[in-house]
Structure 1
Amino acid sequence: MSWHLARLCALDTETTSPNPEDARIVEAYCGYVGGGEPPLDRPPLLINPGVEIPAEATAIHGYDTAYVREHGVPAKDGVQRVVAAVVEAWQAGIPVVGHNVRFDLTVIDREAIRHGFGSLLDLCGGSYGPVVDTFVISKHLDKWRRRVSAEQGAHVLKTCAAVFGIPWNDEDAHGARYDALIADRVAWRMGAIAAMPRDARPRIQSGRGDDRALFDALAVDLPTLFANQKRWAAEQAASYQEWLRSPKAGDKQDAKAVISGAWPVEPAPAKQPEGALT
């Protein structure tokens, strides 16, 4: 049975920052769909992160500091529940599915460490469970896809939803439950196309030849898919780093740019020795 027909764990977080090293979870969703079983549609978990929520973050997900202080669960309790849900899925062999889920898993890892639970790697017994990252897969399937607009990127969730025929509602977007379930539907569609005979697959690239063979790398078991995504993430990071260091980047050019290709969780930064100069 193809992985897209099995049980899937849809995951997303809304946070205080786009930097996973200092981001705190404000809202999280972790639910189960598929596999011939009824969905486990848990309510989104609202968390009081214990820090001020910047206006920039509130503008994205709609939660401000006062609201989460009144309605959110305490940070340590909330983080423990999110971590437990991820570990539970992996221990059952269920893939965690999300869009750019490397960000979410890295945030969860740092929050787990911050609150004294240990790293995700330790909690999972030394190896991560299966992951399906629709952002990484989208970039593999259509490397040269153009931005939709100055505001909408080529591989953001909204664009991927449109490419794979998943309905989108701007009013509901950027809520953890909505984004997690849309990513899951995109993943399902990716897997469904991969399960088709090559000649029956739709073409998702625009005017750049026959891309249907690229789906072959998705028509594999979960361990192989995990390894493929790990390789693609590293290749994508190296390509972006090369571009940033080149004159092609224009105003964004940075000759010393370093882009990490780690996936599905960024390694925690090494701690500076006490008294070290920074």
Structure 2
Amino acid sequence: MTMTYDALIAALEHAPQQTDDTPLGSSWLLGFDTETTGIAAGRDAIVSATLVLRDPQQGHDGDAEAEWVINPHMRMNPKASAVNGFTDEYLAEHGMEPTDAIDQIARAIAAAQDKNIPLLAYNAPFDVHMLEGDLHRWNLPQVSERADSTAASSGLLVVDPLVIDRAVSKRRGKRTLTLTTEYYGVVPTGDFHNATADTVAAVDLIKPMSTLYPQVGHLTMGELMEWQREAYRSWQESLNQWLESRGRMPSHESWL
């Protein structure tokens, strides 16, 4: 495990206090990605996670990163292991205790929320709900219970590049992180399905998105969540029309 949690907390302490008027295009961001034992939040668990704090003025050179490898005390789903490469044996030998690791992750996210720095994750509900499930499993306070800001009452401030891309880009086909970064000209810094490489790639998407679609860059922190919720509702309505036209069940999943 690359242990830079203390450096990340120090960087968050020195980060500026953002306001509801801060536009996304010039906002600090806290990127987040996880690798897990499976795909069911609350039942499966996080085995690897990365947080990347991005200063928009410095880009990659100013990134503060923290990475965790975690012993989930449960077996890996073989399909998940085939994707992310983690084995039960490796996690048992090298993994950090989840009560310590998950607590550190939640503390760092809460510190960013107090600065009005949004949490950025590609397909954010997956990572957010996985974290919530692990916090519940180990009887740890949720992020909203730790934050001193309005997050405690209004929920997390989140940026989801997948939701944004669906709203502004009319391209067809799948929208995996790999394909989306290719579309926006983002060059990955490592192999995908590695939490750090995926986190950096997702954070990197905001600059080209804001350039190609100025309305994205102009979104303020105060507008961000409702804009994304409405974008998701619009996408889901279109998806359900397509599903029903083919005799398939509609989707009733919500965003955040």
Per the normalisation by structure 1, the TM-score is 0.75
1:104 and 2:122 matched: no
SS of the residue corresponding to residue 245 of structure 1 reads: helix
SS of the residue corresponding to residue 49 of structure 2 reads: strand
1:15 and 2:15 matched: no
1:155 counterpart (172, 175, 184):
175
Aligned counterparts, 1:87-126, within 5 A: 87-124=110-147, 125-126=152-153
Q: Compared with structure 1, are the counterparts of its residues 50 and 72 closer, same or farther at alpha carbon in structure 2 (3 Å cutoff)?
A: same
Aligned counterparts, 1:225-236, within 5 A: 225-236=224-235
Aligned counterparts, 1:161-176, within 5 A: 161-168=181-188, 172-176=191-195
Structure 2 unaligned blocks of 5 or more? 1-21
Contact 2:209/2:216 (<8 A) preserved = no
Aligned counterparts, 1:33-182, within 5 A: 33-36=54-57, 39-124=62-147, 125-143=152-170, 145-147=171-173, 154-168=174-188, 172-182=191-201
User: One-letter code of the match for 1:41?
Assistant: A
- Following superposition, the deviation at residue 85 of structure 1 comes to 1.5
Residue number in structure 1 paired with 2:7: none
Residue number in structure 2 paired with 1:238: 237
Q: State the distance in 1 between where 2:42 and 2:245 align.
A: 27
Residue number in structure 2 paired with 1:210: none
SS of the residue corresponding to residue 33 of structure 2 reads: strand
Provide runs of 4+ in structure 1 moved above 4 Å.
none
Q: Compared with structure 1, are the counterparts of its residues 261 and 141 closer, same or farther at alpha carbon in structure 2 (3 Å cutoff)?
A: same
Q: State the distance in 2 between where 1:34 and 1:54 align.
A: 36
- Following superposition, the deviation at residue 187 of structure 1 comes to 1.6
Aligned residues: 229
Q: State the distance in 2 between where 1:156 and 1:134 align.
A: 11
Q: Which moved more, 1:2-11 or 1:85-94?
A: 2-11
1:219 and 2:238 matched: no
Q: Which moved more, 1:94-103 or 1:160-169?
A: 160-169
- Following superposition, the deviation at residue 193 of structure 1 comes to 3.1
The structure whose RCO (Cα within 8 Å, separation 6+) is larger is 2
SS of the residue corresponding to residue 69 of structure 2 reads: strand
Contact 1:97/1:187 (<8 A) preserved = no
- Taking only the aligned residue pairs, the percentage that are identical comes to 22
User: One-letter code of the match for 2:25?
Assistant: H
- Following superposition, the deviation at residue 262 of structure 1 comes to 3.0
Per the normalisation by structure 2, the TM-score is 0.81
Structure 1 unaligned blocks of 5 or more? 148-153, 196-215, 264-278
Residue number in structure 2 paired with 1:260: 253
Residue number in structure 2 paired with 1:206: none
Q: State the distance in 1 between where 2:234 and 2:144 align.
A: 23
SS of the residue corresponding to residue 262 of structure 1 reads: coil
Residue number in structure 1 paired with 2:19: none
Q: Compute the RMSD of aligned alpha carbons.
A: 2.1
Q: State the distance in 1 between where 2:62 and 2:223 align.
A: 26
Aligned counterparts, 1:175-214, within 5 A: 175-195=194-214
Q: State the distance in 1 between where 2:134 and 2:223 align.
A: 29
Q: Which moved more, 1:92-101 or 1:174-183?
A: 92-101
- Following superposition, the deviation at residue 120 of structure 1 comes to 3.3
- Following superposition, the deviation at residue 40 of structure 1 comes to 4.1
**Structure with bigger gyration radius:** 1
Q: State the distance in 2 between where 1:231 and 1:120 align.
A: 24
